[in-house]
Amino acid sequence: MELLRARTVDGPAAGDSGRLEMRRGHLRAALQLVVQGDGRMTRAEIARRSGLTSATVSSLLTELIRDGYVQDGRQAVSTGGKRATTLKLDRERHGILVVTLRPLVVRGAILNLAGEVVSERSDRLESGVTPEDVARFVEEFIGDTERNVLCVGLQVPGTTIHGRVVESVQLEWYDEPVAEVVTAAVGVPCVIINDADAEALSESISSPEAAENSLFIHLGEGIGAAIIRDGEVMVGPSGRAGEIGHVRVVYEGSRNVCRCGLTGCLESTSSLTAMLGPAFRDESSFEEVRQLAETAGAQEHLADGAKALARAIRLICAAFDVAEVVLGGSAPALGATFISDVTDDLEMYPAKGARLAFVRFAQSSSPFNGVAQYALSQLLGVRWSNPPAQPDAALR
Separation of alpha carbons 330 and 209, rounded Å:
19
pLDDT at 360: 94
In 3D space, the residue among 66, 49, 65, 47 whose CA is nearest the CA of residue 57 turns out to be: 47
Mind listing the pLDDT tens digit for each residue in 99-157?
A: 999 889 999 999 999 999 999 999 999 999 999 999 999 999 999 999 999 999 999 98
What is the CATH number that goes with domain 208-361? 3.30.420.40
Mind listing the pLDDT tens digit for each residue in 318-340?
A: 999 988 999 999 999 999 999 99
pLDDT at 3: 46
How much is the average pLDDT of 223-237? 85
Q: Which residues touch 311 (CB under 8 Å, ≥6 apart)?
A: 249, 345
SS3 225: strand
What does the mean pLDDT of the chain come to? 87
Q: Which residues touch 150 (CB under 8 Å, ≥6 apart)?
A: 1, 3, 94, 95, 96, 188, 189, 379, 380
In the chain, ranges of CATH 1.10.10.10 domains:
14-90
Separation of alpha carbons 261 and 257, rounded Å:
6
Separation of alpha carbons 91 and 325, rounded Å:
34
Mind listing the pLDDT tens digit for each residue in 149-185?
A: 999 999 998 889 899 999 888 899 999 999 999 999 9
Looking at the predicted structure, is the pLDDT value of residue 12 above 60? no
- Cα dihedral value 222, 228, 233, 237, nearest 10: -80
Looking at the predicted structure, is the pLDDT value of residue 395 above 50? no
What is the CATH number that goes with domain 14-90? 1.10.10.10
pLDDT at 13: 53
Beta bridge mates, 219? 223, 329
Looking at the predicted structure, is the pLDDT value of residue 76 above 90? no
Cβ proximity of 195 and 218 under 8 Å: yes
How much is the average pLDDT of 61-72? 94
pLDDT at 213: 79
Looking at the predicted structure, is the pLDDT value of residue 19 above 90? no
Mind listing the pLDDT tens digit for each residue in 252-298?
A: 877 888 888 888 999 999 999 999 999 998 888 999 999 999 998 89
pLDDT at 346: 94
Separation of alpha carbons 276 and 46, rounded Å:
53
Q: Of 4-13, 68-77, 89-98, where does mean pLDDT reach its minimum?
A: 4-13
pLDDT at 389: 41
Q: At residue 392, what is the residue type?
A: D
pLDDT at 282: 85
pLDDT at 368: 93
Pairing of strands 105-111, 94-102: antiparallel
Q: In what order do the strands lie in the sheet with 190-194?
A: 117-124, 105-111, 94-102, 148-156, 190-194
Choose which CATH entry (3.10.20.30, 3.40.50.970, 3.30.420.40, 3.30.230.70) describes domain 94-198+368-379.
3.30.420.40
Calculate the alpha carbon distances from 288 to 71, 124, 282, 295 in Å. 45, 20, 11, 11
pLDDT at 291: 95
pLDDT at 10: 44
In the chain, ranges of CATH 3.30.420.40 domains:
94-198+368-379, 208-361
Q: How confident is the model at residue 206 (pLDDT cuts 50, 70, 90)?
A: confident
Beta bridge mates, 344? none
- Cα dihedral value 314, 319, 325, 329, nearest 10: -90
Mind listing the pLDDT tens digit for each residue in 29-58?
A: 999 999 988 888 999 999 999 999 999 999
Separation of alpha carbons 74 and 63, rounded Å:
19
Mind listing the pLDDT tens digit for each residue in 341-373?
A: 999 999 998 888 888 889 999 987 788 999 999
Looking at the predicted structure, is the pLDDT value of residue 231 above 80? no
3-state SS record for 61-106? HHHHHHCCCEEEEEECCCCCCCCCEEEEECCCCEEEEEEEEECCEE
